[in-house]
Amino acid sequence: MSKPTLTPIQTTSVITLPVTGTTAIASISTPLGMYSGENDFLSGAYDQVAYTYKKLGGDILDIELTEETVYANYEEAVLEYSYIVNTHQAKNILSDLLGTTTGSFDSDGELKDGTLKTSLAGGAGVQMRFPRFEFAYARRIADGVGVDAGVGGNVPIYSASFSTVANQQDYDLQSILEAASTAGKDSGTGATVPWAGLVGNKKVTIRKVYYKTPNAMWRFYGYYGGLNAVGNLSNYGQFSDDSTFEIIPTWQNKMQAIMFEDALWTRTSHFSYELRNNQLRLFPTPNSVTAEKYWFEFTIPTEPYLQTDPDIGVDGVNNMNTLPFANVPYANINAIGKQWIRRYALALSKETLGQVRSKFGNSIPIPGESVNLNGDALLSQAKEEQNALREELIKVFDELTYTKLAEDDKQFVENAASLQKSIPLTIFVG
């Protein structure tokens, strides 16, 4: 007995997901075509059709999806995995890559042909390499701190001089430097200066103020008695020829431990000064017998975006967005990653199926009955599964950062050392 023909014929969709995929269709069906030239990717996408068909109940119910949809979802899953992997790696190495060479990228996020791509073996991106730790970011911070502390850095410290005027207590060092920079000559000595044309209207930072004695027959702890130097005692005391005197600000407490190195070359003067807005005030007021020439060290503010020091680097990587990261090659994704991709692609296909079924409403009528659809439930499940998969992967990567690995190794070594203490020593018998 033949089956009766129902009128009207109930048809939800004339398109249903096949049992298996088609390799020829897979190669031309991914919307972005990121991996369409890789046979391994095509094989994985092909297998994903059968996996999706079985997981969504294709043996029992029609699955209103095309194999092209499954291929598109599989590509998206690979790209999502690549995104999470690259983000994880960016957290690991960004500090060491700041200021390094970046690349140019096409619309797919792949490195364009150029020096950088050529220098990387096989065209693989930086994300496939383990970097050498250089603590570049820490060094750049230390350089900036070193400049202010006067113990290093990459900002040059210049020296200039000016002649004092009898009975004049205040001197505008900013104006002195601006004039000397324009003229290219030191105001005190008349010598050519390396900072010619660099000051302009930039406010300089004064680091140190000092002076030198003129050549005279004075000795530091010499054999001459005080009476022999009484004529000079009011100004300099008993010191050797051409001694250098550092003038200490009135607010500064010079500690011997900090100033030990300077103390080897300079003497503490009984003169002092105040410095406000680069306006120097000397104490006491210079007179006819006070040192005629004062020296000071200073730095000129630099433009952080215009520095040419190759160790600093202004061109290149400045944030995660400019790292030379392309999509992770499919061939370099291991079994762990590929299983995550399968599960995520299935969740994407479930979302697509939910959207398709939701267009029919909650049910569709058939002769004498109606069929309930689960479009809304599929959408909800799909979103939950996608979020859970992303969180799962991110959590794993957060536990595998280079910093966390170092902490784990430290704990392992400490545990091993503690265990060794509990092992009795072998008794040596001679």
For residue range 79-107, list pLDDT tens digits in order: 999 999 999 999 988 888 887 778 788 88
Classify residue 121: in a domain, yes or no: yes
Whole-number Cα distances in Å, 217 to 74, 210, 230, 288, 424: 90, 21, 12, 20, 75
Mean local confidence (pLDDT), 163-186: 92
Instruction: Name the least confident of 45-49, 132-136, 222-226.
Output: 222-226
Distance, CA of 155 to CA of 288 (rounded, Å): 37
Distance, CA of 330 to CA of 334 (rounded, Å): 9
203 pLDDT higher than 50: yes
Whole-number Cα distances in Å, 357 to 349, 362, 376, 379, 382: 12, 8, 8, 10, 13
Query: Same structural domain for residues 196 and 241?
Result: yes
Classify residue 319: in a domain, yes or no: no
Q: What is the pLDDT of residue 423?
A: 79
Q: What is the pLDDT of residue 247?
A: 64
Query: Same structural domain for residues 114 and 161?
Result: no
State phi, psi for 146 to the nearest 5 degrees: -60, -35
Task: Look at residues 99, 95, 153, 134 and name the one whose alpha carbon lies nearest to residue 314.
Answer: 99
Counted domains in the chain: 2
The 3-state DSSP class for residue 29 equals helix
Q: Which pTM value belongs to this model?
A: 0.68
Classify residue 7: in a domain, yes or no: no
Range of 213's domain? Answer: 157-299
Query: Same structural domain for residues 107 and 215?
Result: no
Classify residue 151: in a domain, yes or no: no
Query: Among 93-107, 283-297, 385-399, which range has the highest average pLDDT?
Result: 385-399
Classify residue 262: in a domain, yes or no: yes
pLDDT band, residue 59 (cuts 50/70/90) = confident
Half-sphere exposure of 213 (CA within 13 A, CB side): 24
Classify residue 427: in a domain, yes or no: no
- Give me the percent of the chain exceeding a pLDDT of 90: 30
Classify residue 61: in a domain, yes or no: yes
Whole-number Cα distances in Å, 356 to 15, 64, 378, 384: 11, 7, 10, 18
Query: Same structural domain for residues 92 and 206?
Result: no
pLDDT band, residue 391 (cuts 50/70/90) = very high
